[in-house]
């Protein structure tokens, strides 16, 4: 049954139901009639036994038997005819009713991955088909957007990896063209290779971390204040270089998650607070709880983030000022990673507010399921 078309499946099921109904109907209708005929036959036999009008009674009994068998034969013929006619009608009706589905099938078969978000399925007919096509169109839109993001991501990643490789190649070319090399030349080329490969491995490491995020265990009980303290402690040297004061509030919030990832998210936010800050500024981290979320707000005294970049800064490889950001060591992946980590913990990250006096970025984590 599974391998034949829906049209045939419905037709066969209909034929079986109609045949069964006809047979039941014929049986019950005939049962009463035949019972009566049998009673008449028996009374005729009684008359025959009493030797009254023998010829008439014999013919009558024969007629009774013939009527019985002809009744059954005609019942079978009528059942077959009704089943056949209703099956043909059903086949045509179902074929007509399934036309929008066949059209939908053709349209779906023509969909290409290239232009998913512009592709629209239009279905007519029943309410179900129209709502199916609407659901399908919105799925296509979501898929299209996801494909576009993925394509951009792959393009940006390739670009990010290509740049250091191009630098290494061109500098090596220049190096080999020079006939004689001094000790300084060697040191310079080694430094350059070291810097560029460090940049390459930094990008590759973050990309790998991002792909492994979803499968990471999230069952540890995390005390946000402890993780914040750890990150602040690890960033003290960097802060001292820029003479930046790191502060943390006294509150705490706990939830279930992955401590390595949460540390990474807080580390990136605080590190940015230090990197994009003025000399002698400060970074204040406030931990707390709000409804089902545990949150941390990182507040800095840097130059601020323009309103139009509030969301873009969380996109992979986005940098407000490419040359400046690259100079402070970023590939534009730090906040994208924070966003993915927050998402993996049922939370989010956003810029609460920002001005020329500094920015406030909030990350939230939610994991009430496992909470005690
Ligand atoms: P990067 O690794 O290059 O720092 P991020 O993803 O961490 O990349 O940040 C993206 C961009 O957002 C940075 O290039 C920077 O311009 C901007 N940015 C991030 N955090 C801050 C901040 N606290 N203040 C000002 N700008 C910031």
**pLDDT for residue 45:** 62
In ligand 1, the atom with minimum distance to the C-alpha of 326 is 3
Determine contact, residues 103/123, Cβ cutoff 8 Å: yes
Burial (CB count <10 Å: 0-12, 13-18, 19+), residue 96:
exposed
Predicted pLDDT at 44 = 62
Residues 6+ apart with CB under 8 A from 109: none
Of all protein residues, the one whose alpha carbon is nearest to atom 20 of ligand 1 is 272
The H-or-E segment that residue 311 falls in is: none
* For ligand 1, atom 4: residue with the closest CA: 330
Which helix (H) or strand (E) segment holds residue 50: the answer is: none
Please state the domain extents for the chain.
6-97, 140-211, 220-366
Q: Measured on CA atoms in the order 50, 56, 59, 65, is the torsion positive or negative? A: negative
Torsion of CA 172, 327, 161, 193, to 10 degrees: 30
Residues 368 and 292 sit within 8 Å (Cβ to Cβ):
yes
Cα-Cα-Cα-Cα dihedral of 297, 303, 304, 309, to 10°? -130
Low-confidence stretches of the chain (pLDDT beneath 70):
1-2, 37, 41, 44-57, 322-329, 367-372
Distance CA 225, CA 263 (A): 11
Taking the whole predicted model, whether its pTM rises above 0.95 is answered as no
The angle subtended at Cα 332 by Cα 326 and Cα 337, nearest 5°, is 145
Q: Which atom of ligand 1 is nearest to the CA of 333?
A: 6
Task: Name every protein residue with a CB atom under 6 angstroms from any ligand 1 atom.
Answer: 272-273, 276, 300, 302, 305, 313, 318-321, 325, 330-336, 359
207 phi, psi to nearest 5 deg: -60, -45
Per-residue pLDDT tens over the stretch 68-90: 788 888 888 988 999 899 999 99
In CATH, what number does 220-366 get? Answer: 3.30.565.10
CATH for 140-211 (1.10.287.130, 1.10.10.10, 3.40.50.150, 3.30.160.100): 1.10.287.130
How far apart are the CA of 196 and the centre of ligand 1, in A?
20
Report pLDDT digits (tens) over 296-345. 999 999 999 999 999 999 998 888 876 655 666 578 889 999 999 999 99
Q: Write down the pLDDT at residue 123.
A: 75
347 Cβ neighbours under 8 A, 6+ residues apart: 293, 295, 363, 364, 365, 366
Pocket test for ligand 1, best of 209, 239, 272 (most atoms within 8 A of CB): 272
């Amino acid at each position: 049954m599974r391998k034949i078309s829906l049209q045939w499946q419905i037709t066969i099921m209909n034929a079986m139901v109609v045949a069964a109904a006809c047979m039941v109907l014929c049986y019950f209708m005939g049962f009463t009639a035949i019972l009566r005929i049998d009673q008449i036959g028996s009374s005729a036999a009684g008359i025959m036994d009493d030797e009254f009008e023998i010829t008439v009674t014999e013919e009558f009994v024969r007629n009774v038997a013939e009527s019985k068998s002809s009744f059954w034969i005609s019942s079978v013929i009528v059942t077959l005819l009704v089943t056949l006619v209703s099956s043909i009608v059903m086949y045509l009706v179902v074929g007509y009713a399934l036309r929008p589905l066949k059209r939908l099938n053709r349209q779906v078969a023509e969909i290409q991955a290239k232009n998913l978000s512009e592709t629209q399925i239009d279905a007519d007919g029943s309410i179900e088909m129209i709502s199916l096509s609407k659901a399908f169109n919105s799925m296509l839109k979501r898929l299209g957007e996801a494909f576009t993001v993925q394509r951009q991501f792959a393009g940006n990643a390739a670009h990010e990896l290509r740049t250091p490789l191009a630098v290494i190649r061109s500098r090596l070319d220049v190096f080999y063209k020079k006939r004689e090399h001094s000790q300084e030349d060697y040191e310079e080329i080694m430094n350059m290779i070291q810097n560029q490969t460090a940049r390459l491995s930094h990008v590759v490491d973050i990309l790998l971390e991002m792909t492994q995020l979803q499968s990471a265990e999230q069952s540890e009980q995390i005390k946000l204040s402890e993780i914040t303290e750890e990150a602040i402690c690890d960033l003290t040297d960097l802060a001292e270089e820029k003479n930046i004061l790191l502060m943390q509030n006294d509150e705490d919030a706990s939830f279930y998650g992955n401590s390595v990832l949460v540390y990474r998210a807080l580390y990136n936010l605080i590190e940015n607070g230090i990197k994009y800050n003025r000399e002698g500024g400060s970074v204040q981290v406030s931990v707390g709880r709000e409804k089902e979320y545990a949150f941390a707000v990182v507040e800095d005294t840097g130059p601020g983030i323009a309103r139009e970049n509030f969301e873009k800064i969380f996109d992979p490889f986005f940098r407000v000022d490419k040359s400046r950001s690259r100079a402070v060591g970023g590939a534009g992946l730090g906040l994208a990673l924070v966003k993915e980590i927050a998402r993996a913990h049922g939370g989010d990250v956003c810029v609460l507010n920002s001005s020329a006096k500094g920015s406030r970025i909030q990350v939230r984590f939610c994991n009430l399921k496992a909470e005690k």
